[in-house]
Chain A
Amino acid sequence: MKLLRMFLVQTRMNFVWYFRRDGEMVFWTLAMPVFFLVLFSFAFSSGPNSGSSKFLVPGIIGAQVLSSGFWGVGVMLATFREKHLLRRVYVTPMPPWVFFASLIVYRMLLLAAQAVILVSVGALLFHVRIVGNPLEILAVLLLGTATFGSLGTIIGALARTTESANNVASILTVPLAFLSDAYIPIDRFPHAVSATLRLLPSTQFIETFRDVSVYGAPLAGYGVWLVALALWAVAGAAISARTFRWV
């Protein structure tokens, strides 16, 4: 009960404080992906219904999951440390996992809002239909958010300053978004390249999410990748649990 209350209050405060701090940034967090969707849909195709929107809606949501983990969790933790927020909570009885989990859950809810908006815009403007099993889609999204949130905590653990965390997050997010089948189909690359890129957790997550959501593929066919993603999540948590510094 105590832990549940701790977790709920912390998550609620994350929302209240973050929205108050950068209401404007939240607007852009929600608006930018829509902008990308519209821009790329027209840029990569001769018009609506050509299929590229169907590729882009899940791709952009997937890219948001990545950046949410690297920026929203990783860089955020480094900022908290730099502002001495972490050392203050470290001397309270709150278990560290409550703090991390509430940050990741907060990002999950924000991502859910982004996904709803992107799917709605995709449906209204480009007739993209979500045909997969809703529970399976949700499961993939949750797993992806947990995986990249967990990997994000490594950035938060190892980066000494907010600035270096920022640099690491940009170095990871931008190339990964383009090499993980998010914006550009990697099948356009030679087979050897695309096969290699499919070893990345980001590619595995985005392709699974896309196939399950807009193509209605059954989740059961992606067992190996799902296990791999879960292992990345566990590895991330284990590494940051060992290396995380509160001061």
Chain B
Amino acid sequence: MVENLVRRYGALAAVDGVSFAVSPGTIFGLLGRNGAGKTTTLECCIGIGTPTSGTIRVLGLDPTRPRDLAALRPKIGVQLQATSLPEKAAVREVLELYAAYYGIPARAEEMAARVGLDDKLDRQIAQMSGGEQQRLALALALQHDPDVLFLDEPTAGMDAFGRRILWAEVERLRDRGKTIVLTTHYIEEAERLSDRVCIIQRGKIVAEASPAELVAEHGGDASVTIGANGFAPGASLERLGRWTKTGEQWKLATHGEPGLALAAVVTEANAIGAKITSLDLHRPTLEDAFVAITGETLGEHE
């Protein structure tokens, strides 16, 4: 739980009055562009950053108090953004070292297998791809079976394979009752994983809800686009929503279920004998909602 968190660097407020609560056993996504304040917020939750003001409780403990932080550390798992492992260390060695940090038996083989690195146990960090390093970082965050996981941009720079492994693992953990807080600037990741998404922009929370709620509320209309010779929407179709024509294409923007609208449009086109040349259905996504809410795109390819 975070309440009214503020973190200033000089005059700049990196985090400016952020509040949210995470339900146990759920995945909570902090979504925003680079520099929006996601990482700073997360770092304050794990005791790396010191809030300028505000209150934080993780498992009832206050990470700004040394005593609480010491009690908290064994219960949380952390995956940080920047490469933070010794470059000449082998996968097995790092897992053994971190097992010693937590006072648990090393489970190097098992952990490596869980993140798809079982054939790379003796590989050194420096010889691994960024995605492989990220997966090892996840294994290190998980090995001591923490109650709460903090993942900072866990799939940044990962290939599709690594991303699938990580997503599956995160969902499996949630299904086992773990709580996961993750930051991401990938819409797809936030939409796929999060039970609740918090959109953060310039240090402030601008929206917080489940991905489905955000899309329903801010994603705008679904649409059906049809290209067909001699087609024009009749009276029955007019009722479905707002029609616009661009070139030979008719586009219907609708509040209703776009699948049913699509069926109606096709039925009508067939009834009047119009030959369909193209047909598209677009449901609003979290990306549409994000753009509507923030007035910005995420610029994933910057």
Q: Which of A's residues lie within 8 Å of B, judged by CB? A: 2, 5-6, 8-10, 13, 16-17, 20-21, 83-85, 87-94, 246-247
| Contacting residue for B46 out of A10, A13, A85, A91, CB 8 A | A91
Do residues B101 and A247 form an inter-chain contact, with CB atoms below 8 A? no
Interface contact A17-B89, CB-CB below 8 Å: yes
Chain B residues near A (Cβ < 8 Å): 43, 46-49, 70, 73-74, 76, 78, 80, 82-89, 93, 96-98, 100-103, 124
Q: A91 touching B76 by the CB < 8 A rule?
A: yes
Given A9-B97, A9-B100, 7 additional A-B pairs, CB 8 A: A9-B96, A13-B93, A85-B84, A85-B85, A91-B46, A93-B74, A93-B103
**Interchain CB contact under 8 A, B83 and A84:** yes
B86 close to A85 (CB less than 8 A): yes
Determine the distance from Cα of A83 to Cα of B78 in the docked complex, in whole angstroms: 17
Quick check: B84 and A84 within 8 Å, CB to CB? yes
Of all chain B residues, which has the CB nearest A13?
A: B97
A9 to B101: give the CA distance in the assembly, Å: 9
Residues A84 and B96 in contact, CB atoms below 8 Å apart: no
For residue A94, which residues in chain B have a CB less than 8 angstroms away from its CB?
A: 101
Q: Which residues of B contact A92 (CB under 8 A)?
A: 73, 98, 101-102
Supply 12 A–B pairs (Cβ within 8 Å), ascending by A.
A16-B93, A17-B93, A83-B84, A84-B83, A84-B84, A85-B85, A88-B80, A91-B76, A93-B70, A93-B102, A94-B101, A247-B43
The 3 closest A-B pairs by CB, nearest first: A88-B84, A2-B103, A9-B100
CB nearest to B96 among chain A residues: A9
Taking a contact as CB atoms closer than 8 A, the residue among B48, B82, B97, B124 that contacts A91 in the complex is B48
B93 to chain A, nearest CB (A): 6
* Chain A residues, CB < 8 A from B70: 93
Inter-subunit contact B86/A91 (CB<8 Å): no
Q: Let me know if A6 and B86 touch, CB within 8 A.
A: no
A87 B74 Cβ-Cβ under 8 A: no
B123 to chain A, nearest CB (A): 13
Measured CA separation A47–B191 after assembly (Å): 79
Of B83, B96, B101, B124, the residue contacting A89 (CB under 8 A) is B101
Asked if B89 and A13 sit within 8 Å, CB to CB, the answer is yes
Contact residue among B48, B74, B83, B101 (Cβ-Cβ distance under 8 Å from A246): B48
User: Across the interface, do A10 and B100 meet the contact criterion of CB distance under 8 Å?
Assistant: yes
| Complex interface: chain A residues within 8 A of B97 (CB) | 9-10, 13
Contact between A21 and B49, CB atoms less than 8 A apart: no
Residue of B nearest to A247 (CB): B48
Given contacts A5-B100, A21-B88, A246-B48, contact A87 B93 (CB under 8 A): no
Contacts A9-B97, A17-B89, A84-B82; A91 near B73 (Cβ below 8 A): yes
Option from B76, B88, B102 in Cβ contact (under 8 Å) with A17: B88
Given the known interface contacts A87-B48, A87-B80, the answer about A93 and B85 at a Cβ–Cβ threshold of 8 Å is no
| A10–B93 CA distance with the chains assembled, in angstroms | 10
**B14 CB, min distance to chain A CBs, angstroms:** 14
CA A72 to CA B48, docked complex, whole Å? 25
Collect the chain A residues with CB atoms within 8 Å of residue B100's CB.
5-6, 8-10
Alpha-carbon distance A12/B228, docked complex (angstroms)? 73
With a cutoff of 8 Å between Cβ atoms, the chain B residues found around residue A17 in the complex are: 86, 88-89, 93
Bound-state CA distance A88–B46 (Å) is: 11
Q: Which one of A5, A90, A93 has the greatest number of beta carbons of chain B within 10 Å?
A: A93
Interface centre among A13, A89, A91, A94 (most CB of B within 10 A): A91
Chain A residues, CB < 8 A from B89 = 13, 16-17
Residues of B within 8 A of A93 (CB): 70, 73-74, 101-103
